[in-house]
Chain A
């Protein structure tokens, strides 16, 4: 990978299909609405004589079957209040293929509020694990300033290695135990990311990466795929002076 944008392009190319088998138009419409801001093709198949409730089949970009479940279960799973994505990752560890569908699907218009919520999930996880690498891209020094206290605490928490990345200059004192990487005019000014490598446990690895395409509007993905997280960590470490 040569840029953060390439990571997003890679995920972009893995466009998935959600095949909805139902005779219920309302359910179909609800799912279409739910996925319209993600790069997912929602297709409809009639359930015919099969009993309701229907089911969904998830396919990868080649049309290959990646997972299936009942519509009732799927809708429950999509409801973030019941199951935040990170909880799902923990309860369904043997279902990586299906869940890699729900993650690694691009979101095309996250608001700062949604970005913050997802960032917080990753930071919370890093805090709980207390070891490993946490790399956070703030875009701007002003954004780091608002999280200053949080990262002050991170810097001295457990054996976490913490680095923050900025696309402009950080003029205030550096939080203790935190490496500040700032490169004015670089890609760092355009990307919001939080990457945690999981420490000793790759099942805890997770990352969020998004480009701010318009002010306050983000385009990107979140993932707990350990390989992808590792590639992000490696990219950041080889591209920037993290040590």
Chain B
């Protein structure tokens, strides 16, 4: 283990690359919002779109030192709905129910969680 830096562990990802398209995942992890979504999903496997938009917007604000207004949240929600969540669904990491506007299932490969530095707290 060792270093607790928040940088994707590309080696671990590469090892598990037969589970998912490596390049796509690396690109996804380069995005602040997507990282926050994946970390949040690790703890909450079935959040609503609203809930994700709230948390991801607030998390981004705390990282950039900005104050997020409702318009920022609105933009984040649109990105989640039209870009981030569909990509995660394509990869099979989540199932998204467009009726209820909520994630219905989460199945993130361990290698991806590990790359994000999310350690399982279950002991």
Contact surface of A with B, Cβ cutoff 8 Å: 21, 46, 48-51, 53-57, 64-73, 92, 94-95, 97-98
Q: Classify the interface of chain B: helix, strand, loop or mixed.
A: helix
Bound-complex Cα distance A98 to B57 (A): 14
Interface residues on B, range: 20 to 34
* A63 CB → nearest B CB, Å: 10
Chain B residue at minimum C-beta to C-beta distance from A45: B55
Beta-carbon contact of B69 and A55 below 8 Å: no
Residue of A48, A70, A97 near B44 (CB, 8 A) is: A48
Residues of A within 8 Å of B36, CB to CB, are: 50
Beta-carbon contact of A69 and B40 below 8 Å: no
Residues of B within 8 Å of A57, CB to CB, are: 54-55, 58
Q: What would 22 A/B residue contacts be, using CB atoms closer than 8 Å?
A: A21-B55, A48-B44, A49-B39, A50-B40, A50-B55, A50-B59, A54-B62, A55-B58, A55-B59, A56-B58, A65-B54, A65-B57, A65-B73, A67-B69, A68-B54, A68-B57, A68-B62, A68-B73, A69-B58, A70-B61, A70-B63, A95-B69
Contact A49/B42 with A68-B67, A69-B68, A98-B69 known, Cβ cut-off 8 Å: yes
Bound-complex Cα distance A53 to B64 (A): 12
Contact A48/B40 with A55-B62, A68-B73, A69-B62 known, Cβ cut-off 8 Å: yes
* B8 CB → nearest A CB, Å: 14
Beta-carbon contact of B70 and A50 below 8 Å: no
* B111 CB → nearest A CB, Å: 16
Bound-complex Cα distance A49 to B121 (A): 9
Residues of B within 8 Å of A68, CB to CB, are: 54, 57-58, 61-62, 67-68, 73
Beta-carbon contact of B69 and A50 below 8 Å: no
Bound-complex Cα distance A125 to B1 (A): 57
State whether the Cβ of B6 lies closer than 8 Å to any Cβ in chain A: yes
- For chain B, residues 38 to 87, give those with C-beta under 8 angstroms from any C-beta of chain A: 39-40, 42-44, 53-55, 57-59, 61-63, 65-70, 73
Residue of B43, B66, B70 near A65 (CB, 8 A) is: B70
Bound-complex Cα distance A239 to B66 (A): 43
* B50 CB → nearest A CB, Å: 8
Bound-complex Cα distance A45 to B23 (A): 34
State whether the Cβ of B118 lies closer than 8 Å to any Cβ in chain A: yes
Bound-complex Cα distance A94 to B36 (A): 26
Residues of A within 8 Å of B121, CB to CB, are: 49
